[in-house]
Amino acid sequence: MASHQQSQLHFLLLPFPASGHLIPMTDIGRLLAQQGILVTLVTTPHNAARVEAVVTRAVESGLQIRLIQLKFPSEEAGLPDGCENPEMLPSQDLILNFFAATALLQQPVEKLFEELIPKPNCIISDMCLPWTASIASKFHIPRISFSGTCCFCLLFIHNLRVSKVLENVTSESEYLVVPDLPDQIEITKAQVSGRLTTRVKGFTEKVAAAEMESYGMIVNTFEELEPEYVKEYRNARKNKSGALALLHYATKMTWTRHKGVTRPQLMNITA
C-alpha cells in the first residue's frame, strides 16, 4: 500500500471560490481521477456544499477524489461573517476585500499540503489565486493555472496591459482600438476604469508574475469557438513557461446536475 501511494500521482486542485470557477475545476478533477490520478479538491464550506453531491457520485463510481474544506477568513478581510462567495457580497465595492480574503488562505493551504498523504505532485490553481505559485515553488512541484474565461478575454486583458495604450489617454469618453486583436475592438477609458486603480493593477501584476512561473494554463474554452483568439493568445504566451490547454465539451455528452442546473459533463482536455 505504501509503495502504491508513493507511485500514484496526486493533484491538488485549488479553485477560486465562485461558481463559475468551482464547477469547471470540479469537472477537471473528475477528468483527472478517470485517469487513475488521486485528486484533492480544496474549497470552503459554503462552496463545498455546491459540488458535494457531484463529488460523492464520482467517489461512489470508484474515482479517487477528496473534498477538503477550509474556513474562509471573511471577517479578517473586512467582509461579513460567512461571506464565502462573490455572490454573497453585500456590495461589489468589497470585491477587492474578497480577493484579499482568498490570499489569507495561503498559510492554511501550506499547512494542509504538509499533512496530505501522499504528497501532491502538482497544483492546479485558479489564476485568480496567484499566491499558489509560491506554494508550488516552496514544495518543488509544478503549478498549472486555470482560467474560467475565454481566450478573447485573456488576450484582451493581456494586450491592454503590455501595450500600456491607456496611459496616454486623457479623455474618458474617447474610443480607442485595443491593439493586436484579430478583430477591431474599440473601448473607452471609462469602460475599463475599474482596472486602472492602484489596488487592481497591483493584483493583475501578481497574476501575471505567477503565470510566468507556471508550468502551463488550462482555459475553459474550445478552439472552434474562437480559433483566432486561441492562436493569438498562444502566441502571446510564447515567452511564458508551459503550454496552453483547452478544456472543452466532447461531442458525446453525458448529463449531470449541479444544484438543480442541468449541464453537460466535461469529458476531455486537449492541448
Between CA 27 and CA 13 the distance in angstroms is 11
Cell for 106?
495561503
Catalytic residues: 21, 126
Burial class (CB in 10 A: 0-12, 13-18, 19+), 120: buried
Between CA 115 and CA 179 the distance in angstroms is 47
Contact 200, 207 (CB under 8 A): no
Between CA 144 and CA 261 the distance in angstroms is 28
Cis peptide bond upstream of 15, omega within 30:
no
Report the 10 Å Cβ neighbour count for 134.
14
Contact 233, 244 (CB under 8 A): yes
- CA-derived radius of gyration, the chain: 19
Cell for 14?
485549488
